[in-house]
Amino acid sequence: MILVCDVGNTNINFGVYEEDELLVKFKIMSKMSRTSDEFGAIICELLEHNDIKLDDIEGCIIASVVPNVMHSLVNALERYVKKKPLIVGPGIKTGIKIITEAPKEIGADRIVDAVGAYDVYGGPVLVIDFGTATTYDLVTENGEFAAGITAPGIKISAKALWEDTAKLPEIEIKKPASILAQETISSMQAGLVYGQIGQTEYIIKKVKEETGIENLKVVATGGLGSIVSDETDMIQVYDRNLTMHGLKLIYNKNARK
């Protein structure tokens, strides 16, 4: 079994694979500061709760965009799971060639998503990850990471509304019954959700226009991706486990190496 870890700005998502099957998933918050012992205790408890024995874990891999979490998390995996994790970064074989001007600036999560999308759906493909930020990454027919667009995520936009305006409340992010809102909460929901849908459709349109790729596949992932993908026919697939799959593929490539 392989333990995969996706460290994002909001959550750390864990998955356990046996061969090609994702057996379990669980998550913990990444914003909370924890020691390696706290990480170790939480990970062991969640694995045990999901009937996964520590002795069955053959290896681990981490993709992280939160550097200050890594020391404690890596130590926890080494001490409690007894495995030294692979870290997605320079020197790791991914199968994706980055041809942007500054390859080292591309986040590990974006590389992992690109690997997963290219393996499952082929190229050219535009991968949209609706996470803390909303990212759009273009992978060519030949498996090259060619371009990326970064925008504020829905949660960032929502947080800006209720933290920077005195009278707007914290709300649940969901699509309201109508865009023609008649009270505060649904008006905020309408602006957030329909605004994200409009942004998504326009960026997809511009990517197709500037690349000339009309047959571009568009694949979405990320926690809030289903809200947007359900509302537009410009996204062909919503794959909630795309990052997990990409991590497993990268682990396999490097384990064989």
Strands 59-64 and 2-7: parallel
Which tokens belong to 127? 């991968």
Average pLDDT over residues 193-197: 95
Question: Per residue in 75-114, pLDDT tens?
Answer: 999 999 999 999 999 889 999 999 999 888 999 999 999 9
Q: Got the DSSP string for 16-48?
A: EEETTEEEEEEEEESSS---HHHHHHHHHHHHH
Question: Per residue in 225-257, pLDDT tens?
Answer: 999 999 999 999 999 999 999 999 999 999 865
Model confidence at 31, pLDDT cuts 50, 70, 90, reads confident
Are 70 and 113 in the same domain? no
Which tokens belong to 191? 């602006």
Are 215 and 110 in the same domain? yes
- Measured distance CA(12)–CA(8) in Å, rounded: 6
Model confidence at 214, pLDDT cuts 50, 70, 90, reads confident
Domain presence at residue 255: no
- Measured distance CA(219)–CA(238) in Å, rounded: 6
Active site residue 55: no
Q: Which of 182, 129, 161, 25 is nearest to 172 (CA)?
A: 161
Looking at 87, 117, 133, the residue that finishes a domain is 87
Average pLDDT over residues 117-131: 96
User: 33-37, 68-72, 88-92, 206-210 — which is least confidently predicted?
Assistant: 88-92
Catalytic-role residue among 6, 51, 109, 233: 109
Structural domain for 49, as ranges: 2-87
Model confidence at 223, pLDDT cuts 50, 70, 90, reads confident
Task: Say how many CA atoms lie within 13 Å of 215 toward its Cβ.
Answer: 6
Average pLDDT over residues 28-45: 93
- Measured distance CA(247)–CA(2) in Å, rounded: 10
Q: In what order do the strands lie in the sheet with 2-7?
A: 21-29, 11-18, 2-7, 59-64, 86-87
CATH number reported for the structural domain that contains residue 6 in this entry: 3.30.420.40
Are 74 and 200 in the same domain? no
Angular region, 81: left φ>0, alpha ψ -120 to 50, beta rest:
alpha
